[in-house]
Amino acid sequence: ETTPRLPVIWEHFQECTCCSESFIRSDHPIVADIILDKISLDYTLTLMAASGHQAEAAKKATMDKYKGEYILCVEGSVPLGADGNYCCIAGKSALETLKESAAGAKAIIAWGSCATTGCVQAAKPNPTGAVPIEKIITDKPIINVPGCPPIGEVMAGIIVHVVTFGRLPELDSAGRPKAFYSKRVHDSCYRRPYFDAGLFAETFDDENAKKGYCLYKVGCKGPSTYNACGNIRWNGGVSYPIQSGHGCIGCSSNNFWDAGSFYTRD
Ligand code: SF4
Ligand code: SF4
Ligand code: F3S
C-alpha cells in the first residue's frame, strides 16, 4: 500500500499501434489492474488523457523525478534515414527522443516486432532506414518482446513480473523472456497429431482443411516460430491464427516479411 507505483514511459515511433491494442485486451492479468494499481503510466500518446505540451511536460516530469528508476516501453522502429525526419514527435526525431528517454531509464521493454527487429518498415527496401531499439541503445538492459503484435497477456505478464520481483524476467540469447518464447508454435499446436500422422490440408478450401488437418503445406511457419500462441492463445485464450484456419506467418521471427511467402514452404 505504501510502495509507489512503478513509473512507465511508453514511446510510439514507427508502428501501427496494434501492440497497444493487444496490451489493452489482456484479461489475465486484466489491464485495468495494471494501469490503475501496479504501474504509473505517465506517458503514452495512445492511452493518456493529456496531449501536446501537457503530455510532453508529464514525460519530462517523470524523467526528472525518477531518473534511473522508470521503465521505458517502446512500440515501433526508429528511422535513421533523412536524419531521422521520417518520424517526428513534439518537434524531435524518434532517434533523438529515444536517446533522451532511454538515458534515465532503469530498463527498456521493446514491444513487438517493430521495436525488436524492425518488422514491416524494415522489410526490403526499408525506405526509412528503420532499425530496432537494440541497434541504437546499447547501454541499458532491453527485454525484447517480438510478435506482430505480441500477445496481450505476455505483455501484461512481463510488466507484472518486473513490478513484482523488481528485476527483469529470465531472457534468452535474443533478449526474449524464456517463459514465453522458449517453445515453437509447432510444439503446442493442437493440429500437431495431424502433422505427425502426415495428414495435411493441400489448399485452404479442400476437404482436409475442413477436417482441421495440419496447415504445413499451405505455408504454416509454426515449426520455426518461437511464441506462446498455442498455449496462451489470443483474446483471453479464445483462439489464435491456426485455430482460425490460417497458418502461422512467423510474426515473432526476425525479418518474417522478407523470409518468404506466407503461403508456401519456400
Ligand atoms: Fe503494429 Fe506489428 Fe509493429 Fe506491433 S509489431 S506496432 S502490431 S506493426
Ligand atoms: Fe505445426 Fe503449423 Fe501444422 Fe500446427 S498447423 S502442427 S504449427 S505445421
Ligand atoms: Fe504470430 Fe504465428 Fe502466433 S503468426 S500470432 S506467432 S501463430
What's residue 266's pLDDT? 67
- Is 185 a pocket residue for ligand 2 (Cβ < 6 Å)? yes
- Is 12 a pocket residue for ligand 2 (Cβ < 6 Å)? no
Q: Does the annotation list 214 as a binding residue?
A: yes
List Cβ neighbours of 77 (8 Å cut-off, separation of 6 or more). Answer: 13, 14, 15, 114, 115, 118, 119, 121, 122, 130, 131, 132, 133
User: 75 forms bridges with which residues in the sheet?
Assistant: 12, 111
| Residue to probe by mutation, ligand 3, list 183, 184, 218, 227, most atoms within 8 Å of CB | 227
- Is 201 a pocket residue for ligand 2 (Cβ < 6 Å)? no
CATH architecture observed for domain 6-180: 3-Layer(aba) Sandwich (3.40)
- The whole-angstrom separation of Cα 242 and Cα 215 is 8
Q: Does the annotation list 87 as a binding residue?
A: no
Digits of tens for pLDDT over the chain (266 positions)?
777 899 999 999 999 999 999 999 999 889 999 998 999 999 999 999 999 999 999 999 999 999 999 999 999 999 999 999 999 999 999 999 999 999 999 999 999 999 999 999 999 999 999 999 999 999 999 999 999 999 999 999 999 999 999 999 999 999 999 999 999 999 999 999 999 999 999 999 999 999 999 999 999 999 999 999 999 999 989 999 999 999 999 999 999 999 878 998 76
Cell reading at 262? 506466407
Q: What was the ipTM of the complex prediction? A: 0.98
- Where does CATH 3.40.50.700 sit in the chain? 6-180
**Spacing, Cα 256 to ligand 2 middle (Å):** 17
What's residue 264's pLDDT? 87
Q: Does the annotation list 251 as a binding residue?
A: yes
CATH architecture observed for domain 185-244: Irregular (4.10)
Cell reading at 53? 505540451
CA distances from 246 to 41, 95, 195, 215, 223 (A): 35, 36, 15, 7, 14
| Residue to probe by mutation, ligand 2, list 196, 202, 214, most atoms within 8 Å of CB | 214
- The whole-angstrom separation of Cα 242 and Cα 225 is 13
Q: Whose CA is nearest to atom 3 of ligand 2?
A: 214
- Where does CATH 4.10.480.10 sit in the chain? 185-244
Q: Does the annotation list 248 as a binding residue?
A: yes
Atom of ligand 3 nearest to the CA of 221: 2
Q: Are 61 and 27 in contact (CB under 8 A)?
A: no
The CA-CA-CA angle for residues 78, 79, 85, to 5°, reads 120
Single pTM value for the model? 0.96
